[in-house]
Chains A and B, each alone.
Chain A
Amino acid sequence: MESKQKKVEAQALASQRRTMLKTGALVAGSAALGFPALVGAQSGPIRIGHLTPMTGFLGALGEYAQQGIKMAAEEINAAGGLLGRQIELMSEDSVNPQVASQKAQRMIERDNVAVLMGEINSASALTISQVAARNKKLFMSIGARSDALRNKDCNRYTFHVDIPVTVMVNAAGEALLREGLVKGKKIYALTSDYLFGHDLSRAAKNFFTRNGGSVIGDELVPTDLTDFSPQLLKIRQARPDLIATNLGGNQVTNFVKQYSEFGLTYPVAGFNLNTADAWAAGEGNLGGYWPTVWHHELKTPGSQAFVQKFTQKYGRIPENHAWIEYVSLKMLAQAITATKSVDTDKLIAYFESEAQFDILKARKAYFRSWDHQLMQEAYPFTVKPKGQARNKQDFLLFGEAVPAANEPLDKLAPAKAESTCKM
């Protein structure tokens, strides 16, 4: 009994000693840096951890994303920063879902970031949002469009800026219905084999069957596939009335190029195409109706000023991922300024208050309080008739905003009754 107590005491002493050592090291460390740790945490720069794919099939979009958010950070810092502190943007390649979550964890633990932002790949956004929830940090998931993230995988710490798959389907679907491409038609689908593709395939199938079309085939393709020739031959054998692509990133580009190379004539539609990928496909290869969350020809003064500044800075026209990262950091800045804090709970409360944000569109946007999705306008686009393009990037023809100005902003988003999001 006595010896046991001694042992406990010895252990306590030892652990005290360890604590002393640790504290000592900490003090010495912060002394070496020239300022005490406590003050440093409050008046140093506001660190923002930014992750986005810079390589792989989404890498080209990631480069736009990084340029967009950098431009916003520079503007904010040039205007004196936030709460008297500068923003320090730590932007890295998220590579894949595993690496993304490791980097997010490291950014929280070692770099002490206030907020996590970014991502385009829905699977990586999912792992980062899990890290954010575990560590109780705010994560602004900017470019990931999977429905699952906003439904069964939603959590209190994650906010979604881009339009989700369901909204994309609804935004471009009306044009397809108008053209009579769905009712009574045979539809052949090609689906990117990862979280986002599966999500998109599900939403598209729902849309087609609800509107009287039948999906006669759905081909899963790996994300790194660049040659679609075996699939194209297969599609031709199936002789569908419409081809629906549920692909991501530069896969759409490759597909439409090879489709036009093979000279197939079935109309192609799809619910995911970024303007950069459309440009890469080139004029004459693209057809069909597509949705987008933003485009560079939007006639609001804010958007035009953004396009001009971005083009001047980087020597190319911004596409939707550059814009969305830019406005996301501006939204966060608004929240930090309004709450006078970088505290996670206060920022969440501000976003959940359905505060209005100017995102350079005709109508202001807000985060829906119960599932954290940004409610905003979207735009359908198609391709200009041949010979009307003024330059290599001018062959897209953008439609009017949906929902229309007199309709509620959440018209295209799934209603609360359909949602499976529980926070």
Chain B
Amino acid sequence: MEITFLLEQVVNGLVLGGYYLLLALGLSLIFSVGGIVNLAHGAFYAIGAYVSLEVIKHVGFGASILVTPLLVALLGIVFERYLLRRFYTADPILSLLVTFGLAMVAEQALRMIWGSAPLPSNMPPDFKGNVLLGDFMFSKYRLFILAVVIAVMGGIWLLLHKTSFGRVVRAGVQKPDMVAVLGIKLQPYMTAIVMLGVATAALGGVLFGPIAIVHPAMGTEIMTVAFVVVVIGGLGSFWGVVLAAVLVGVVRGITIYFVPAAGEASMYILMFLVLMFRPRGLLGERIERFE
């Protein structure tokens, strides 16, 4: 029974890790390539959840998983073109201020459009209930989320490691000057990275809206965990973020079993330990311009 239970908590940790990952990956990519700490990243997660409520009304839940991130990615183009682009070479404090302000504007805008009362968002009835294997029990919907996250992450890994697009992006992280010398403009790549980042955050909103409730401040709430994951994982590394997200999720689940009160503190303790021994994060690469 103990073993099954730990297994349940580990699977649950994977799901939670997947949830954190959807936010942290975009955050890490935008910082690694553009040098911008996007404090408004959580806003795209909240926008994703709200937009999906509307999208579901027209095309249903299944299609919303595709349509909503695409719509939010379009918003990402506007965000990158008219706002972020001005700050790539500026003092980092300026982009911090701008994205922090944008996060507040977005939260208030959601409040003005949809009201501050939390909105019910229900998963399709087919997804409700659990999967039972012997004594092992888990939520059907969360297993579905896990499958979607694994598929999306697989796609992003292929994009970054097996395509010419990915090669330019990775080169841009390490040696942006060299990329420029080779005659490649990084800006269109940055647009694509921001689109990818906000779309995955929005996907998080679509998938996790039905689990929690949809409310305007949901974006701010998730940001802390997303940052912790990025810091633990280390910058510039795809697997670092993945590993950190899963680790935070699993450690949290197991801590809640043994020491319930320390559940929320566990990820900060983890961050503390990781940073003591590996100041660049678990798999963080050395990036010259950030040293």
- The answer on a CB contact under 8 Å between B253 and A261 is no
When the two chains form their complex, are residues B139 and A229 in contact, meaning their CB atoms are under 8 A apart? yes
Q: Is the CB of B16 within 8 A of A229?
A: yes
Question: What is the interface of chain B mostly: helix, strand, loop, or mixed?
Answer: mixed
- Of A251-259, A329-337, A343-351, the segment with at least 4 beta carbons within 8 Å of chain B is A251-259
Kindly specify which of B43-51, B155-163, B168-176, B260-268 makes contact with the partner chain.
B260-268
Determine the chain B residues whose CB is within 8 A of the CB of A230 once the complex forms: 9, 12, 252-253, 256-257, 263
21 A-B pairs (CB sep. < 8 Å): A64-B117, A193-B261, A220-B260, A225-B264, A226-B212, A226-B221, A227-B16, A229-B15, A230-B257, A233-B8, A233-B12, A234-B257, A236-B137, A250-B118, A258-B212, A263-B139, A276-B117, A279-B120, A280-B118, A280-B213, A281-B120
Tell me, in angstroms, the Cα distance from A219 to B263 when the chains sit together: 11
Whether a CB of chain B sits under 8 angstroms from the CB of A76 is no
Given contact pairs A60-B117, A263-B130, A234 touches B256 in the complex (Cβ within 8 A): yes
Kindly provide the distance from the CB of A62 to the nearest chain B CB, expressed in whole angstroms: 8
Mark each residue of chain B from 103 to 133: 1 if its CB lies under 8 Å from any CB of chain A, else 0.
Answer: 0000000000001111110110100111000
7 additional contacts (CB under 8 A) given A229-B16, A250-B215 = A225-B264, A227-B16, A236-B137, A260-B128, A262-B130, A263-B129, A280-B120
Chain B 137-159 per-residue mask, 1 if CB under 8 angstroms from chain A, else 0: 10111100000000000000000
Separation of A262 and B130 alpha carbons in the complex (Å): 5
| Chain A nearest CB, measured from B234 CB (Å) | 25
Inter-chain contact B12/A257, CB cutoff 8 Å = no
- Are A60 and B257 interface neighbours, CB within 8 A? no
Rounded to whole angstroms, the CA-CA distance of A226 and B219 in the bound complex is 12
Interface residues of A, Cβ cutoff 8 Å to B: 54-56, 59-60, 63-64, 193, 219-222, 224-227, 229-231, 233-234, 236-237, 250, 253-254, 257-258, 260-264, 276-277, 279-282, 284-285, 316, 392
B1 contacts the other chain (CB 8 A): yes
Chain A residues, Cβ within 8 Å of B130: 262-264
For residue B287, CB closer than 8 A to chain A, the reply is no
The reply to whether A56 and B217 contact each other, CB–CB distance below 8 Å, is: yes
Taken residue by residue from 230 to 264, chain B's Cβ proximity to chain A (1 for < 8 Å, 0 otherwise) reads as 00000000000000000000001100110011011
Q: How far apart sit A230 and B5, CA to CA, in the bound complex (Å)?
A: 10
B232 nearest CB across to chain A (Å): 19
Asked if residues B1 and A237 are in contact (CB atoms below 8 Å), the reply is yes
Cα distance A260–B129 in the bound complex, in angstroms = 7
Q: Is the interface of A mostly helix, strand, loop or mixed?
A: helix
Quick one: closest B residue to A262, CB to CB? Answer: B139
Q: Is B66 positioned at the interface, with any CB of A under 8 Å from its CB? A: no
Interface residues of B (CB under 8 A from A): 1, 5, 8-9, 12, 15-16, 115-120, 122-123, 125, 128-130, 137, 139-142, 210-213, 215, 217-218, 221, 252-253, 256-257, 260-261, 263-264
Most buried by B among A236, A237, A260, A264: A237
Q: Is the CB of A60 within 8 A of B137?
A: no
* A87 CA to B15 CA, complexed, in Å: 53
Using CB atoms, name the residue of chain B closest to A230.
B256
Q: Is the CB of B128 within 8 A of A263?
A: yes
Please determine whether B128 and A261 come into contact, CB atoms closer than 8 angstroms: yes
Closest to A282 in B: B120
| B8, B116, B117: residue with the most chain A Cβ atoms closer than 10 Å | B117
Query: How far is the CB of B97 from the nearest CB of chain A, in Å?
Result: 21
Q: Kindly list the 6 A-B residue pairs having the minimum CB-CB distance in the complex, ordered from nearest.
A: A282-B120, A263-B129, A230-B256, A263-B130, A280-B118, A226-B212
Among A54, A60, A284, A316, the one with the most B-chain Cβ atoms within 10 Å of its Cβ is A60
Q: Which residue of A is nearest B130, CB measured? A: A263
**A261 and B256 contact, Cβ closer than 8 Å, known pairs A60-B117, A250-B213, A284-B122:** no
Question: Hey, which chain B residues are within 8 Å of A257, CB to CB?
Answer: 210-213
Determine how close the nearest CB of chain A comes to the CB of B123; give it in whole angstroms: 7
**In the complex where A282-B120, A284-B122 touch, is A59 in contact with B213 (Cβ < 8 A)?**
no
Among the listed B213, B253, B256, B261, which residue makes an inter-chain contact with A253, where contact means beta carbons less than 8 Å apart? B213
- Cβ contacts under 8 Å, B142 to chain A: 229, 261
- Residue in B1, B120, B260 whose beta carbon sits within 8 Å of that of A219 in the complex: B260
CB distance from B127 to the nearest CB of A (A): 8
**A residues near B215, Cβ cutoff 8 Å:** 59-60, 250
The residues of B that contact A237 with a CB separation of less than 8 Å are 1, 5
| Residues of B close to A234: CB separation below 8 A | 256-257
Bound form: Cα–Cα A56–B216 in Å: 10
A261: which of B1, B9, B123, B213 is its contact (CB, 8 Å)?
B123
Q: Which B-chain residue is minimally distant from A263 (CB atoms)?
A: B129
Instruction: Evaluate contact between A231 and B256: CB separation under 8 angstroms.
Output: yes
Residues of A within 8 A of B217 (CB): 55-56, 59
User: How far in angstroms is the closest Cβ of chain B from A299?
Assistant: 25
* Docked CA distance A176–B246 (Å): 41
A residues near B260, Cβ cutoff 8 Å: 219-221, 231
The chain A residue sitting closest to B122, CB to CB, is A282
Chain B residue with the shortest CB-CB distance to A193: B261
Residues on A with C-beta less than 8 A from B120 are 279-282, 392
Q: How far is the CA of A220 from the CA of B130 in the complex (A)?
A: 25
B8 touches A227 (CB 8 A): no
Whole-angstrom distance between the alpha carbons of A231 and B8 in the complex?
11
CA distance A59 to B115 in the complex (A): 11
Shortest CB distance B210–A (Å): 8
Residue of A221, A227, A285 near B212 (CB, 8 A) is A227
Least Cβ–Cβ distance between B121 and chain A, in angstroms: 8
